[in-house]
Amino acid sequence: MEPTGPRPLSRRRFLAALAATGALAACSSDDGDDGAPGATVAGDPGRATTTTGPPLPTPDLPVAPFTLGVASGDPLDDRVILWTRLAPEPFAADGGMPDADVPVRWEVATDGGFGDVVAEGEAVATPALGHSVHVDATGLEPATTYWYRFIVGDHVSPVGRTRTLPASSSSPEAFTIGVANCQDYGSGYYAAYRHLVQEDLDVVAFLGDYIYERAGVDTPEEAIALRRNYGPEAVTLDQYRARYALYKLDTDLQAAHHAFPWIVLWDDHEVANNYAGPVGEKGEDPAEFDRRRAAAYQAWYEHLPVRVDPPDGPDLRIWRDFAVGDLAHLFAIDVRQSSDPIPCRATSTLDMGPGCAERDEPERSNLGDEQEAWLFDGLRASNARWNLLVNPVLMSGLDIAEQGEDPAYYLEVWDGFPEQRRRVVEVLDEEDVSNPVVISGDYHAAFVADLKADPWDPDAPVVAPELLGSSISSLVFSTDHTARNPQIRYFDPRNGYLVCRLSRDELVADFRYVADVGDPDSPLAPGATFVVTAGSPTAERR
């Protein structure tokens, strides 16, 4: 979906943006507190490290390389991915780094002062992957909070805090997930993250639209001062890298990474609006679009703490699953890369419109055969009490027609793939899939919905609740379609995030909203709470 138009710039926001630019200059100071709860000033890096092989020379970097912060992600019960990218000049194509491999030391400690380092080592940052680092720090204890940092020469990174999952053999009583998505830099500030870092979360699930590829202003300085995207529409690796650099320079986003491990999915804007598999929105040459996907996927990998293979071309498997003891199993899925084309383009506008024969073809898939088989096998094999489908886009259906018109849909989401939806819902409805819940994003508004095989059939049974978190900053879509969609229980078009607190007996979903996305200091506005009781397929307002 495509929000439009810049927001007016108030004097207050302009001054705030200037202050942010000042903060950017201050990034050259290595060891500032990042402001995340639990984070501390990094200390003396002069500690012995264990390395194998001949030592690599450490280049003399006159400018601090940790401008983009650090991050952790994809926690398991004994390991977590630690990420950083060395970029002393974040808007330069090479990040301002020499064309050479660079050794990066890393440390994991049980305290923010690094008095008790329990894992450490040396990774190699290579020019081919933008001097990004993905360390899989293993040998950790389950359900334990750790702190981590990186060291290059005299430069010490900010400190991140992370947490492992509960032991896979355990029966945890509770687990809390923050849900975030859609953070268009050009349409608002990340005040939501200032509140999210104060939550007591085990993990953040980010469902997609981490960047927006659309064209912005001509210089990074203007982009930061005016809160706009920077550069032409991103197509090349250099352009995607610059886009991630702009977003990741935001200190509120960095703080959210520094506070919790993230599980990151992508949606469309990490590549191009409303793409599906090899097909773009604008009838691009397929070979050209493959190159674009390869560039976009590589930049995504280079900037995020994901346990996936390093990218090599226009295919990158990112679907993956996580066991939270026997309390929950999370299935994180990808609905773009392996998707069949968006249907009915002859009769739709911007992929909005009525159905057509193509839409109803039984074999059509937005998951692809391999991912579908993996998902269905995993759901059937799961013994978890809760089975969470971590899903980028609205699944429960939305008829967006005006009163008196024939039904119409957003054909780029599950409504463009109704038979695929039916297959998923049928598996979620099987007896051995305990308490399925769908957690979603993308819409730029919050929803609670009843998921059915046919969303508009009043006789179809409700199979699972869908909880859809609103956008962090992307322009909200405020048209209320609930009158034509009895499966929608709740709709709120404000920016914010979602907190899902799981226990053995219930899932409590707190919808949080920022009062003013144009204010980086915005307070939260009153939200709403829904509860799913184990054994019930619906979420009820509390």
Please identify which residue in 31, 120, 209, 412 interacts with Fe ion, judged by CB under 5 A.
Answer: 209
- Which of the stretches 99-107, 204-212, 333-341, 492-500 binds Fe ion when contact is defined by CB under 5 A? 204-212
| Subset of residues 159 to 218 that bind Ca ion, contact rule: CB under 5 A | 209
Geometric angle at alpha carbon 327, from 509 and 510, rounded to 5°: 10
31 binds Ca ion (CB under 5 A): no
**Residues binding Fe ion: what is the number (CB under 5 A)?**
3
Q: What is the DSSP string of 202-246?
A: SEEEE-S-SS--S--BSSHHHHHHHT--BSSSP-SHHHHHHHHHH
Nearest approach, Cβ of residue 272 and Fe ion (Å): 13
- Which of the stretches 206-214, 282-290, 301-309, 516-524 binds Fe ion when contact is defined by CB under 5 A? 206-214
**Residues binding Ca ion: what is the number (CB under 5 A)?**
4
d(CA 536, CA 436): 10
Nearest approach, Cβ of residue 475 and Fe ion (Å): 9
Instruction: Confirm if 25 and 220 have CB atoms less than 8 A apart.
Output: no
| Subset of residues 419 to 478 that bind Fe ion, contact rule: CB under 5 A | 474
| Subset of residues 392 to 451 that bind Ca ion, contact rule: CB under 5 A | 442
Whose Cβ is closer to Fe ion: residue 91's or residue 511's?
511
Please identify which residue in 182, 245, 375, 398 interacts with Fe ion, judged by CB under 5 A.
Answer: 182
Query: Quick one: CA dihedral 373, 378, 380, 381, positive or negative?
Result: positive
Structure tokens at 66: 């940790």
Place of tokens 């994901």: 306
Geometric angle at alpha carbon 468, from 466 and 471, rounded to 5°: 175
Place of tokens 């957003």: 410
d(CA 124, CA 84): 11
Whose Cβ is closer to Fe ion: residue 442's or residue 510's?
442
Instruction: Confirm if 256 and 204 have CB atoms less than 8 A apart.
Output: yes
Nearest approach, Cβ of residue 273 and Fe ion (Å): 9
Instruction: Confirm if 384 and 433 have CB atoms less than 8 A apart.
Output: no
Nearest approach, Cβ of residue 269 and Ca ion (Å): 6
d(CA 399, CA 142): 44
- Exposure on the CB side of residue 141, measured as CA atoms within 13 A: 8
Please identify which residue in 30, 252, 267, 351 interacts with Ca ion, judged by CB under 5 A.
Answer: 267
Could you tell which of Fe ion, Ca ion, none binds residue 390, using a CB distance below 5 to 8 A set by kind? Answer: none
Instruction: Return the C-alpha torsion angle 132, 289, 180, 532, nearest 10.
Output: -130
Whose Cβ is closer to Fe ion: residue 206's or residue 376's?
206
Which residue of this chain has its Cβ atom nearest to Ca ion in the complex?
A: 267
Strand 409-410 and strand 203-206: pairing? unpaired
Could you tell which of Fe ion, Ca ion, none binds residue 162, using a CB distance below 5 to 8 A set by kind? Answer: none
Element of type H or E holding 540: strand 539-541
Could you tell which of Ca ion, Fe ion, none binds residue 268, using a CB distance below 5 to 8 A set by kind? Answer: Ca ion
302 binds Ca ion (CB under 5 A): no
Nearest approach, Cβ of residue 268 and Fe ion (Å): 8
Whose Cβ is closer to Fe ion: residue 209's or residue 302's?
209
268 binds Ca ion (CB under 5 A): yes
Whose Cβ is closer to Fe ion: residue 147's or residue 210's?
210
| Subset of residues 467 to 506 that bind Fe ion, contact rule: CB under 5 A | 474
What is the rounded end-to-end Cα distance, in angstroms, of the chain?
31
Binding site for Fe ion (CB under 5 A): 182, 209, 474
Binding site for Ca ion (CB under 5 A): 209, 267-268, 442
